[in-house]
Structure 1
Amino acid sequence: MGLFDGKKVIVIGDRDGIPGPAIEECLKSTEAEVIFSSTECFV
């Protein structure tokens, strides 16, 4: 049983860091359900 098994996840990525879709792709190997994914610019 993993850390994200059965969890709902909100992904907020950073434009100059790791974008949201990249984090979401990493979570596909877990049992987590991504309910929202976005890439924002934090200035």
Structure 2
Amino acid sequence: MGLFDNSKVIIIGDRDGIPGPAVEECLKSTGAEVVFSSTECFV
């Protein structure tokens, strides 16, 4: 059993850092369900 098995996650990425879709790709193999993923610009 993994850390994210049967977990729902919300991803907020940063435009100048790590974008949301990149984090989402990393979490695909963990068993987590991504319910929201976005990339924002924090100025």
- The TM-score range, normalised by the shorter chain, is over 0.9
In structure 2, stretches of 5+ residues that fail to align are none
Give the ranges of 4+ consecutive aligned residues of structure 1 lying more than 4 Å apart after TM superposition: none
Identity %, equivalent residues: 86
Aligned length: 43
2:41 counterpart residue number: 41
Instruction: Specify every segment of 5 or more residues in structure 1 that has no aligned partner in the other structure, as ranges.
Output: none
TM-score normalised by L of structure 1: 0.96
Aligned-residue CA RMSD (Å): 0.4
Structure 1 or 2: more helix by fraction: 2
Deviation at 1:12, TM superposition (A): 0.3
